[in-house]
Amino acid sequence: MSEPVRVGVVGMGTVGSGVVRLLVESADHIERHAGRRIVVEKAVVKDVAKARSVQLPGGKISADIRDISRDPSISVAALLVGGLEPARSMMVELLENGKDVVTANKALLAEHGPELFELARKKGRSIAFEAAVAGGIPIVAAIGECLAANRIESIRGILNGTSNFILTRMEEDGADYADVLKLAQEKGFAEADPSMDVDGTDATQKLAILAHLAFGVWVPWGEIPRTGIEGIDLDLLNYAAELGYRIRLVAVASRSDGKLAMRVAPALVKIGTPLAETRGAYNAVSIVGDAVGRMFFHGLGAGQMPTASAVVADIIDTVVGRAAITFRTTGVLSADTPAARLAGVESHERHFLRIMVNDRPGVLAKITGILGDHGISIASVIQHAETGAADSVVPLVIMTHTGGSAAVQKAVAAIDRSDVVRGKSVCLSVLEE
């Protein structure tokens, strides 16, 4: 009988506790897949005295990363600490001491991926990171392995469960953003400080990782244009529904004529399409490959057990040697990976505009005239509110025909400078599939 594989777990928060639970409670099932017993040898935590939902025998919990990194009996470490530091220093310590690493930390990989992956290669180790993007959805393996025969043409995805939960509940309950955000925090979908979720940072970091896997280039995540959901109100959701759409925070990466376009922003998605029907804390990713066509992945993108599922799957892949093969052959986050600079690639889409205008004659003609001057054709107009008061302000909603994004942005800027407009207009892309 083969000797068991001994694993160290760094961090026993929500995900770490889930990983330990799976490894302990599903040990027989996991052994059948790994071909060897996998046991949790030790866990490193910030506060040893803290009560936890999963217990390890006395002596197996430590506050010193070196108790894992320098234990020769431990071959695999699951690094389940968030943020950049001390997570980066911990991974360096683990790799320098010959450990294969499994992680769910997308911020760490998006910021320091090339450096850490080069260190892993230098030391003959591997880094597996399925859980870093889209929780329990096996999207990293799908792009990096299963679709390796394809040139990936585009990726569209809902990559942040918190934002999707908020938008879904606003739609379904008719509730304001602030009230739903509070509910998300109460349910554990949103952190006390939700800014990285709602401002698009989390989704952008995940998109940077997926784009690297799909296109073989490295784009610093901070260079990817992003807009969060803070400006989405109930009126916008209702107008979108009236037109046959829902609003989702969508991450987009596409390649055309050797140029790469990427963004994260709220967009209108047509009701009935997979992205529009992705609700609550679920994630979804649509991929188009030149050989396979369009594929769609859907599942829980966060939460204890979905994320733990991905971590344990990576541990199994590491134990059986699949992770090492993939890591060695795909050139993931290599120093040789070309860096890509996004050069404002023009997109051609329909656009949704909400413009707050003075309620007086001639306003619509002035707005449509500005759009026409920029070559923007109008598909439909909605204006419900009419007060008749000289100083009243009402929303004007316009859906355009397909047009270049640069022309639309210039037109919106000109509209906002007009003396009939109050405040900043909202301009959202429209995705038809």
How far is 290 from 313, CA to CA, in rounded Å?
Answer: 28
| CATH no., domain 5-132 | 3.40.50.720
Are domains 139-301 and 348-431 of this chain identical in fold?
no
Question: Rounded to two decimals, what is the model's pTM?
Answer: 0.92
Candidates 42, 99, 106, 206; catalytic one = 206
Is there a catalytic annotation at residue 106?
Answer: no
| Every domain of the chain and the residues it spans | 5-132, 139-301, 348-431
Residue 352's pLDDT is 97
Residue 348's pLDDT is 86
Asked if residue 261 lies in contact with residue 345, where contact means CB atoms within 8 angstroms, the answer is yes
- 3 state SS of 407: helix
Within 10 angstroms of residue 130's Cβ, the number of other Cβ atoms is: 27
> Mean pLDDT by 10-residue block, N- to C-terminus, for the chain (433 residues)?
90 93 94 95 92 80 96 97 96 98 96 92 94 92 91 95 95 94 85 91 96 88 95 96 97 87 96 95 95 96 89 96 84 60 74 93 92 95 70 91 92 95 95 83
Asked if residue 253 lies in contact with residue 210, where contact means CB atoms within 8 angstroms, the answer is yes
pLDDT tens track for 369-410: 999 999 999 999 998 766 555 568 899 999 999 988 899 999
CATH 3.30.360.10, domain 139-301, yes or no: yes
Q: Which CATH fold would you assign to the domain 348-431?
A: Alpha-Beta Plaits (3.30.70)
Burial (CB count <10 Å: 0-12, 13-18, 19+), residue 387: exposed
How far is 40 from 279, CA to CA, in rounded Å?
Answer: 35
How far is 162 from 78, CA to CA, in rounded Å?
Answer: 24
pLDDT tens track for 257-272: 778 899 999 999 999 9
